Amino acid sequence: MDFNNVKDFYQSIFKSYDKPSLETHIKKIIELDKYLPYSSTFFCVTNTQTLSFEYVSKNYNSCLGLKSEELLEKGMRYFWSRIHPEDLDNWLKALNQLMEFTLRNIEEKDRQNANYTWNYRFKNADDVYVNIVQNTTPLAFDSQGKPIVGLAHYTVLDPGIKLEISASAKLLNNKQEYETIYFNTYSQKLLNGGISNRERDVIRLLIQDFSSKEISEKLNISPHTVDTHRRNILKKLNISSTGELIGILKMNQNII
C-alpha cells in the first residue's frame, strides 16, 4: 500500500461522530509511569480521532532509542512512517477486520471489557526493524460505540524472530478472565504453498461445508477428482485432515 493512503484508510476505520474525553483514570496511569521499572515494554495513550498520542511512557526511549517528544509532536503519521512498508497493508487489514468484528459481535455495553492485540515490524533509532506486539485496551468510545481512545502497551522483540502478522480480540468473562473470541493471521502464508486455482475453488466450497459430491456438481468435475484435490491440498499444506483445514480457514477467511 502507498504510504500516502494509510491516513485515509486508518481514519475510515475509526471514523467518529463526536469527540470523546479521556477517562479520569488515565491520569493515574500517567502518574504511575515514573515508578515503573525500565523494561522491554512501553505504553502510550492513543487517540485515533485526532491521530495523536496523549501520552508516551518513559520506556519508549529505552526500548527503541527514539525521543518521546518527537512522537508526541508528530503523532501517528510519524509512528506509521516507521512501520515496515511490507507490513502496512496487513496491519491495516487487521485493524479494519478487528473493528468490523467488534461492531458486529461485541455488544456495546461489553466493549469496555475488550482487549486487542496485533503485531508489526518497527524501525528503531538504529534503523533496525524490531518486532512489536501491540496490546490495546479501549478507554473511550464514540457515539456509535467505536473504541477510539486506548491504552496501548508495546512489547519489543528481537528482530531475528520471524512473526507472521496476526490480530486477536479478547473479552473478559464473568470470572474476570480474558477469553480469545477472535483470531486471524494476515501473512498469506497458508495458501502460498503451490496451491492451484482449482484447489482454491475446492477450498472455498469446503469452508461452506459442501460435500465432495456437491463440490463436484458445482465445479463440473467428478467426486473422485474432488477427493484427489483434497488429498493434494492437505499434503501441500502439511495438514492432517480436512476438518483441521476447514477449522483453520474458518478463522482466517481473508487468506482464501
Q: What value does the mean pLDDT take over residues 155-162?
A: 90
Neighbours of 182 (CB within 10 A): 18
Cα–Cα distance for residue pair 123/82, rounded to 1 Å: 5
Q: What is the CATH number of the domain that holds 211?
A: 1.10.10.10
Helices (H) and strands (E) in the chain, counts: 9, 7
Cα–Cα distance for residue pair 70/245, rounded to 1 Å: 46
Q: What average pLDDT is seen over the chain? A: 84
Cα–Cα distance for residue pair 134/118, rounded to 1 Å: 5
List Cα–Cα distances, 61 to 27, 65, 66, 122, 225, in angstroms.
21, 5, 5, 14, 58
Task: Report whether pLDDT(152) > 90.
Answer: yes
Residue 158 lies in a domain: yes
Residues sharing a CB contact under 8 Å with residue 239, sequence separation 6 or more, in sequence order: 233, 245, 248
Residues sharing a CB contact under 8 Å with residue 116, sequence separation 6 or more, in sequence order: 98, 135, 136, 137, 138, 167, 168, 169, 170
Considering the domain architecture, whether residues 167 and 217 belong to the same structural domain is answered as no
| More confident call, 30 vs 22 | 30
| More confident call, 161 vs 238 | 161
pLDDT single digits (tens) 46-75: 998 899 999 999 999 999 999 999 999 999
Residue 207 carries which DSSP code? Answer: T
Considering the domain architecture, whether residues 224 and 115 belong to the same structural domain is answered as no
Considering the domain architecture, whether residues 109 and 209 belong to the same structural domain is answered as no
Last residue of a domain, one of 185, 208, 227: 185
pLDDT single digits (tens) 92-115: 888 888 888 898 899 988 998 999
Residue 169 lies in a domain: yes
Considering the domain architecture, whether residues 115 and 85 belong to the same structural domain is answered as yes
Considering the domain architecture, whether residues 96 and 44 belong to the same structural domain is answered as yes
Q: What is the pLDDT of residue 254?
A: 45
Q: What value does the mean pLDDT take over residues 215-222?
A: 90
Q: Which residue bears the cell 475446492?
A: 202
Q: What is the pLDDT of residue 127?
A: 97
pLDDT single digits (tens) 223-255: 999 999 989 888 887 677 777 677 666 655 544
Which domain does 232 fall in, by range?
Answer: 197-255
pLDDT single digits (tens) 106-144: 998 899 899 999 999 999 999 999 999 999 999 888 888
Q: What is the pLDDT of residue 255?
A: 47
Band (pLDDT 50/70/90 cuts) for residue 20 is: low
Beta strand 41-47 pairing with 129-141 = unpaired
What SS3 state is found at 122? strand
C-alpha cell at 243: 476438518
Residue 137 lies in a domain: yes
Q: What is the pLDDT of residue 250?
A: 61
Residues sharing a CB contact under 8 Å with residue 194, sequence separation 6 or more, in sequence order: 236
Q: What is the pLDDT of residue 210?
A: 85
Lowest mean pLDDT among 146-150, 157-161, 201-205, 243-247: 243-247
Q: Which residue bears the cell 461485541?
A: 106
Beta strand 41-47 pairing with 147-157 = antiparallel
Residue 190 lies in a domain: no
Count Cα atoms within 13 angstroms, Cβ side, for 186. Answer: 20
Domain count along the chain: 2
